[in-house]
Amino acid sequence: MTLTIQISDRFREAATQWGDNRLLDERDAIETKAEQALLEIEYLVADATEVEFDVDDHEIHHQPSDDLESFLEEQADAYGLEPADVLALHVDLFARVFLETDGETTGSESNTPDDPRPW
């Protein structure tokens, strides 16, 4: 099953910002950010390290792993959505990962909070 999701304005803006910092055109940046997001999702759900997808001007087409497909169907059934809508929500969550702000990356590797312990 191939799932097709619309490229949201939030995703496009994040990809463009990310691409500008790496001298990539918008299409290459969107494709790379789509791959990053899909890899993160597939890895978290299915321990997958490869993804099958295609990007056109307005959509991302993804062939989910069996585990991700089952996960998306379960969530879709639980909330009255389509699996593609659930995937779109997850992709948008990862849209701003690894963006730089004021010289720092917004990925988890550099934005660790100060140690809250008093000692």
Given this model, what pLDDT does residue 58 score? 96
Could you read off the pLDDT of 53-85 as tens digits, one per residue?
A: 999 989 999 999 999 999 999 999 999 999 999
Residue 106 has a pLDDT of 47
117 pLDDT above the threshold of 70: no
As a whole number, mean pLDDT of residues 9-16 equals 95
Model pTM score: 0.80
Q: What is the pLDDT of residues 77-112, one digit of tens each?
A: 999 999 999 999 999 999 887 666 544 444 444 444
Comparison of pLDDT for 37 and 110, the residue scoring more: 37
CA dihedral of 23, 29, 31, 37, whole degrees rounded to 10: 130
Q: Looking at residue 97, what is its pLDDT?
A: 77
DSSP codes, 17-50: HHHHTTT--HHHHHHHHHHHHHHHHHHHHH----
**Cβ atoms 87, 64 nearer than 8 A:** yes
pLDDT beyond 50 at 119: yes
pLDDT at 96: 83
